[in-house]
Copies of this chain bind each other. A is one copy, B any other.
């Protein structure tokens, strides 16, 4: 598991797709070191002192924005939050104009969440700052996949060869796309399961097995990753009712018994208890690593900021 590389090739993190397995391993190894920082009484290192990171969140977010902001502060960066509301965006300014204006103030890095797939790439093509994708439409959410991988590796010591099942709203999820990229690169066996209307066409081409029942997906799994039903996003539900969804795709303690003996349960949050996951599963101290995912999110984001910010200084 030792890394073969000591730097990322790109100064941006736009997605998992462009990363090599060695780069993924570098980020995870670096995050291990930073995880310890958050457990000290003085939770701070001077790595990014005097650097400016702008958090450009054009979509509502809690844990991702907060997690990045904490990671930035623990690296001693100056942080600036910029949200869509109450801003010139409401006066009709384009994303490019907003970004070029922010760039003119010389930030070192911009963390962006945007509803349009490709928005981070558009900035990366035009701006000298390092761009970190914090979620772009249904495209990618790379730091989420990295923190998921960190959490799995922390428990099993490896990713290769594990059976990982991802269950839920595959069609609308950037989390699942980034996870499939990462896990297949790292030689894990990925199975996805969802109602037919929530599975995108040709998803098998990404190298995953598709099944249509929850039981089949859980059978023999080492990792059961439940996705959020994004009620606020769909407009209307792609299935008859939440109760119906829970009955067929909700993870209950009974269903979880089909998984392997040491299987863990993951969820990117926020959870809909009683929709995609039973509270008894979510709160199961032995199985559920949902809060460890959150903890590891700070460490992984510190690693990404450090590796990109450090590169920036060296250049």
Which residues of chain B are within 8 angstroms of A74 by Cβ–Cβ distance?
Answer: 78
Which residue of chain B has its CB nearest to the CB of A43? B50
| Pairwise interchain contact B38-A62, C-beta atoms closer than 8 A | no
The answer to whether B106 touches A38 (Cβ under 8 A) is yes
- Is A80 in contact with B70, judged by CB distance below 8 angstroms? yes
Number of chain copies forming the complex: 3
Q: Is A66's beta carbon under 8 Å from chain B?
A: yes
Task: Tell whether A154 is near chain B: CB-to-CB under 8 Å.
Answer: no
Chain B residues whose CB sits within 8 angstroms of the CB of A103 once the complex forms: 291
Segment of A82-90, A116-124, A163-171 engaged in the interface with chain B: A82-90
The answer to whether B50 touches A40, judged by C-beta atoms less than 8 angstroms apart, is: yes
Q: How far is the CB of A143 from chain B (nearest CB, A)?
A: 14
Contact B50 A42 (CB under 8 A): yes
Inter-subunit contact A91/B313 (CB<8 Å):
no
Q: Are the CB atoms of B313 and A70 closer together than 8 Å?
A: no
Residues 222-279 of A contacting B (Cβ, < 8 Å): 231-232, 269-273
Q: Which of A6-14, A93-101, A199-207 contacts B (4 or more CB under 8 A)?
A: A93-101
Interface size on A, residues (CB 8 A): 60
The reply to whether B62 and A73 form a contact with Cβ atoms under 8 Å apart is no
A110 at the interface (CB under 8 A from B): no
Binds B, one of A21-29, A187-195, A292-300: A292-300
B-contact bits for A279-315, CB 8 A (1 contact / 0 none):
0000000000001111101100000000000000100
Instruction: Decide if A153 is an interface residue (CB 8 Å cutoff).
Output: no
Asked if B60 and A87 make an inter-chain contact with CB atoms under 8 angstroms apart, the answer reads yes
Question: Nearest residue in B to A269 (C-beta to C-beta)?
Answer: B101
Residues on the B chain within 8 Å of A313, using CB: 41
A125 interface hit (Cβ, 8 Å): no
From B44, B87, B91, B92, contact of A78 by CB (8 A): B44
6 residue pairs of the A-B complex, CB under 8 angstroms, read A43-B51, A44-B49, A52-B73, A74-B78, A92-B270, A105-B298
7 closest A-B pairs by CB: A42-B50, A104-B294, A62-B88, A44-B50, A93-B270, A88-B270, A62-B87
